[in-house]
Amino acid sequence: MTKQELFGQIQAKKSYLCVGLDTDIQKIPTHLLKEEDPIFAFNKQIIDATHQYAVAYKPNIAFYEALGAKGWESLEKTLAYIPKECFTIADAKRGDIGNTSGLYARAFFDKNASGLDFDSVTVAPYMGEDSVTPFLQFDGKWVILLALTSNGGSRDFQTLAVGDEALYEKVLRTSQAWGSDEQLMYVVGATKADMLAHIRSIVPNHFLLVPGVGAQGGSLAEVSQYGMNSTCGLLVNSSRAIIYASSGEDFAQAAALEAQKVQLEMEQYLAAYL
Amino acid sequence: MTKQELFGQIQAKKSYLCVGLDTDIQKIPTHLLKEEDPIFAFNKQIIDATHQYAVAYKPNIAFYEALGAKGWESLEKTLAYIPKECFTIADAKRGDIGNTSGLYARAFFDKNASGLDFDSVTVAPYMGEDSVTPFLQFDGKWVILLALTSNGGSRDFQTLAVGDEALYEKVLRTSQAWGSDEQLMYVVGATKADMLAHIRSIVPNHFLLVPGVGAQGGSLAEVSQYGMNSTCGLLVNSSRAIIYASSGEDFAQAAALEAQKVQLEMEQYLAAYL
């Protein structure tokens, strides 16, 4: 999907919501456990209920991998079910030496090899340029590089001073030479909304994936005010607050209501800041 | 597997060789392609041919994941086939926020969930403590944390100065508070053998996984001289130089010869430096 197409979807749906499919067999409503593939049955209903409010879906790969080959099959069915106009993110946080990153790219981008063809994958920057570039060689696909994450551990290394800037700023600056804003986005934790204006000065044109709204805390208002650019430039993720809005048989309706609530708030911010 | 058990295996086999199972469907001998599961058929013969010379096996997870659910099944069969006295490493380079890392830990350590029960998994440090500790909560399992990798991109961030030390040194120092040398090892690229003496002064007692001998370059002699400690403290990996020693029907015998060559060299270094 191109940047322009993604922006077109954001304008059409008046939303920059990404729904995180952190689908845990131990948390889905119990009535689904009698289904042949409970994970897919859950995702299917969540997607049906939320896709008019969401421009992106982000399966968290750990949740599928924890179930082995069976989980991988649920992931494949889920991805195939997501409407084609939605942007898809494999939240995998991969990254390895060149030829190995090339294989991870095949795993998430090459349907003929793996059965999966996500639009994007999240990548960790620690191993540097040659661990990232193999993902950028797939036409129309995106890397979403970790810059500043929303967890406590982000303060262990990401915010340390490297010369006169923090490591995450160095990652933002260095990686811009690896690919354009048509193929590279950044993960920026919303709990650091005060840093967003500064981050925008380093990467004015890139899309940012903001994972920290909802269960991880963080304010959608602040993120939108300080993070939005002329093509919106934001995908704001919510996982648990939407998909586990109810643990009963009404989980899909409850998810739709939560997603709609976020979408309506986003519609206001798009009107105010775009 | 405990540290003492691993050292016992090293003494018994006079080897600290780890064979990397970077098994690529496009590189294995063509006569195997008629097998029901060519990847497993290849690995099975490699394991049969090399296990008397190797103390560890390291499937590179990307190679399996690139094949989707089918690859995951080949991985499960491969892991089950590796003799129990061998240390097993899921080279996955995972790392995410706490609850997600917990699921990756389940994926690689909890046989009941995923079908896999590796002894260890490689983890990337960028997201900090809470991305690593969930892996350390599994009894008898190990984290192998990336410190200094052997690829060109290691110079993008790992060797940058953070205060008065390099980022990879900071990772070594900070992470020692997260777990003991009975549950934590480090990835240290062999192409930086001159840095090994210095690294040993920071982590005198930890095992180091050295990925860079063979196709990635690096000298086994230097690594052994500067890296060995009183419990050996080294696992030196070789992937392509062993498993692709021949592309013909004699691939397993050729792999055995290569593995034996490395083992005989290691036997000398153990006699000299242990």
Tell me, what's the pLDDT at B192? 64
Q: Which residues of chain B lie closer than 8 angstroms to A114, CB-CB?
A: 65-68, 71
Most confident of A47-56, A182-191, B204-213: A47-56
Using CB atoms, pick whichever of B91, B152, B157 lies closest to residue A126: B157
| Best A73, A126, A210 residue to mutate vs chain B (most B CBs within 10 Å) | A126
Q: Is the pLDDT of residue B217 over 60?
A: no
Tell me, what's the pLDDT at B194? 75
Q: Is the pLDDT of residue B213 over 80?
A: no
Instruction: Name which of B172, B161, B129 is nearest A161 in CA terms.
Output: B161
- Say whether A103 and B63 touch across the interface (CB within 8 A): yes
In chain B, the DSSP E strands lie at 17-21, 56-59, 87-94, 120-123, 142-148, 161-162, 165-166, 184-188, 208-210, 234-238
Tell me, what's the pLDDT at B211? 87
Ranges A190-194, B37-41, B168-172, B188-192: which has the least confidence: A190-194
Q: pLDDT by residue (tens digit) across A194-240?
A: 789 999 999 999 999 998 675 455 689 889 999 999 999 999 999 99
Q: pLDDT by residue (tens digit) across A164-180?
A: 999 999 999 999 999 99
DSSP codes, A20-34: EE---TTTS-GGGGG
DSSP codes, B101-133: HHHHHHHHH-HHHHS---SEEEE--TT-HHHHH
Q: Indicate the average pLDDT of chain B.
A: 95
Using CB atoms, pick whichever of A97, A114, A161 lies closest to residue B67: A114
DSSP-assigned beta bridge partners for residue A121:
A90, A143
Cα–Cα distance, B152 to B157 (Å, whole number): 11
Using CB atoms, pick whichever of A66, A76, A103 lies closest to residue B103: A66
| Best A37, A91, A156 residue to mutate vs chain B (most B CBs within 10 Å) | A156
**Burial degree of B246 (CB within 10 A; 0-12, 13-18, 19+):** middle
Tokens 């690896």 correspond to A178
With pLDDT > 90 as the criterion, what percentage of chain B qualifies?
93
- Say whether A115 and B68 touch across the interface (CB within 8 A): yes
Q: Which residues of chain B lie closer than 8 angstroms to A113, CB-CB?
A: 66-68
Minimum CA–CA partner of B104 in chain A: A62
Tell me, what's the pLDDT at B219? 87
DSSP-assigned beta bridge partners for residue A87:
A56
Three-state secondary-structure class, residue A1:
coil
**Which residues of A are marked as active site?**
93
Q: Is the pLDDT of residue B212 over 70?
A: no
Which residues have CB under 8 Å from B91's CB, separation 6+?
A96, B20, B58, B59, B60, B61, B122
- Say whether A127 and B124 touch across the interface (CB within 8 A): yes
- Say whether B160 and A163 touch across the interface (CB within 8 A): yes
Please, what sign has the CA dihedral across residues A125, A189, A144, A181? negative
Q: pLDDT by residue (tens digit) across B126-184?
A: 999 999 999 999 999 999 999 999 899 999 999 999 999 999 999 999 999 999 999 99
Tell me, what's the pLDDT at A219? 87
Q: Which residues of chain A lie closer than 8 angstroms to B147, CB-CB?
A: none
Q: Is the pLDDT of residue A245 over 80?
A: yes
Cα–Cα distance, B19 to B24 (Å, whole number): 15
Distance from CA of B258 to the nearest CA of A (A): 22
Q: Which residues of chain B lie closer than 8 angstroms to A153, CB-CB?
A: 97, 127-132
Distance from CA of B155 to the nearest CA of A (A): 7
Distance from CA of B17 to the nearest CA of A (A): 20
Distance from CA of B116 to the nearest CA of A (A): 8
Taken in order of first residue, the domains within chain A and their CATH numbers are 3-273 (3.20.20.70)
- Say whether B153 and A128 touch across the interface (CB within 8 A): yes
Distance from CA of A255 to the nearest CA of B (A): 21
Letter string b/e over residues A88-102, b meaning 16 or more CB atoms within 10 A of that residue's CB: bbbbbbbbbbbbbbb
- Say whether A66 and B95 touch across the interface (CB within 8 A): no
Tell me, what's the pLDDT at A58? 98
Which residues have CB under 8 Å from B61's CB, separation 6+?
B75, B90, B91, B92
